[in-house]
Amino acid sequence: MKHSFLNINLPLVLASQSPRRSKLLSLLGIPFDIIPSDLDESMPDNMHPIDYVKTLSLHKAQHIAKSLKSNSLVIGADTIVVINDKILNKPLDRDDAYKLLSTLSNNTHEVFTGIALVESQSGKYLSDYKCTKVSFRQLLDEEIWDYIDSGSPMDKAGAYGIQDDFGAFFVDHIEGCYYNIVGLPLELLLKRLKEFANEIAG
């Protein structure tokens, strides 16, 4: 299917099981399929955050691209939370979620999202990233535990979501792209999609 304003003649595939990324991508008004990546996401802890998200998003997209029989353009993404040069992933359990949220309380952290575009037939790819600074207010213990009791933090990097739950009330202010925090920097993605479409069109 051709997306006229992007000049893409290939079907798009989102290599993610995140409902938040799917919802954001749909805002662009571009038809796409979803094929979640079951790739092992473990990475060395000492990697720089930029290398971490760019590498993992590319691996996700390449993993799905290799499984496709027809030529497609695959989108991969990965989001991490970083504070004091330490990467905070999804919480392991309730106690870990409490530890992560206590660390973010009354502090400023960074959210990195890597995006990758892969043409499945040729293997050509493009990758990039976005960083947004997020500052939390001082959180009360009861607020943290109430949030954990909701179950919402357990599938989110840094143990919070800014978009659709109480995690939004933890945020004092942000510097940068809001959608990047949710998991897909739309302006950057659209820009790179246009560039990549022109590149593979030759």
Tens-place pLDDT, residues 133-178 = 999 999 999 999 999 999 999 988 899 988 867 888 999 999 999 9
Q: What is the mean pLDDT of residues 23-33?
A: 90
Instruction: Please tell me the predicted confidence (pLDDT) of residue 157.
Output: 86
Q: What is the mean pLDDT of residues 119-131?
A: 97
Q: What is the mean pLDDT of residues 35-46?
A: 79
Overall size of the chain counted in residues: 202
Pick from 160, 164, 75: which is nearest to 125 by CA? 75
Provide the 10 A C-beta neighbour count for residue 104.
Answer: 22
Q: What is the dihedral of CA 86, 92, 98, 104, to 10 degrees?
A: 20
Quote the DSSP letter at residue 140: P
Catalytic: which of 33, 38, 51, 78?
A: 78
Whether the full predicted model's pTM is greater than 0.75, yes or no, is yes
Quote the DSSP letter at residue 117: E
Angle in degrees, CA 7, 51, 48, rounded to 5? 150
pLDDT of 38 higher than 90 = no
Say whether 51 is catalytic: no
Q: Choose the most confident range, by mean pLDDT, from 20-24, 105-109, 191-195.
A: 105-109
Instruction: Please tell me the predicted confidence (pLDDT) of residue 198.
Output: 86
Quote the DSSP letter at residue 43: -
Q: What is the band of 4 on the pLDDT scale with cuts at 50, 70, 90?
A: low
pLDDT of 185 higher than 60 = yes
Percent of the chain with pLDDT over 70: 95
Which domains does the chain carry? 12-201 (3.90.950.10)
